[in-house]
Amino acid sequence: MNDGPVNDGKAPKKQRMRFVSAEQVAQLAGVSRSAVSRSFTPGGSVAPATREKVLRAADELGYHVNDLARGVLANQSRLVGIVATRPEVGFRAHLAAALAKSLIRRGSIPILINTGQTEDELLAAQKILIGHRAEAIIILSGSPPASFLELAQRNGQPLVVIGRSEPDADHVRVGNSEASRKAATAFYDSGRRRLAVAGSNTGTPSILERETAFLATAESLGASVTVQRGGDSDYDGGVTAGRALFSGTIKPDAVFCANDQIAFGLMDVVRQEARLRIPEDVAVIGFDDVPESAWLSYQLTTFRQDPLTMEQRAVALMERRLENPGAPAGYERVIPELVIRQSFRP
């Protein structure tokens, strides 16, 4: 005899999630519903003995305050949107992680939106965040269109942009041009004359600024410069740029890479396909100082962007905007330092 459940051919009903309610806490604690609410409200007027009973009952039941409902009532949630293209790649991954940790420490709820760089994709991400009443947006990728800025301003939503200048938005910039000029000068002063830039076709403001500043400085010093770009600012892009640079008869003796991911791909091509030595035959400088730069396989000399410094500046600008919505746009500039390793020693 089968004592198991009888299958009548109907699909089992899906049970809805049933979160513990404030009413249940009130019943267990023997207090009013409003006393529960005041117990979880900072500065709420409630007797210490009542608060203790409420907290004990909440702990026993596993109750947590409905922050979403509170956000609806206040017309603002504690969500902070982090908008990025390919946030899992390179420096962006470390910056997104640092931002998330910092926002959680301040009591915010980070929400990561992986989006593209087109206007439609960015606006779609923004509408999601406005619909959920996010208290602010931090953009790591793509230049926000004017309509993005206007919509944020109309809704009083603080907007912080990292890695590019936006006159009407708070922004954090990296000293790309200063670092790139330093790289070109260091190569030249060490006797390198056949210089090259390995970039990408993504056309982001940071990549373009690094390429342009290095090229202008190298040419002003009298060095020859070749520019090659991969499809994206990643390892494969570095492989593509490296093969183009080292397939001819005249090869560069120093390469400035627009970021570390590009440098890794290029260095593997130099050693494994071109059969050249680094740094004896080819010196290489990268940009970002991601953890892999210190790996024994690369030992990459690179300019360090500190994700902790960047997130601190960005969150400070966000908090400033929340406290003073009418303040003029804030601007922070972080100058990266050159970290010397084995791929080039000035």
The CA-CA-CA angle for residues 131, 134, 135, to 5°, reads: 140
pLDDT (0 to 100) of residue 9? 57
Instruction: Tell me the Cα Rg of the chain.
Output: 27
Cα–Cα nearest to 92, from 140, 124, 157: 140
CA distance 39 to 71: 18
334 Cβ partners below 8 Å, 6+ apart?
172, 173, 174, 175, 305, 306, 309, 310, 313
341 Cβ partners below 8 Å, 6+ apart?
293, 294, 299, 300, 301, 302
pLDDT (0 to 100) of residue 219? 93
SS3 label, residue 80 = strand
The pTM for the full model equals 0.77
Q: What is the average pLDDT across 57-82?
A: 66
Q: What is the average pLDDT across 155-172?
A: 82
**Eight-state DSSP code of residue 147:** H
CA distances from 327 to 77, 152, 319, 322 (A): 22, 15, 12, 10
Output phi, psi for 339, to 5 deg. Answer: -100, 115
* Amino acid making up residue 2: N
Q: Residue 181 above 50 pLDDT?
A: yes
Q: Are 124 and 115 in contact (CB under 8 A)?
A: yes
Q: What is the average pLDDT across 7-33?
A: 70
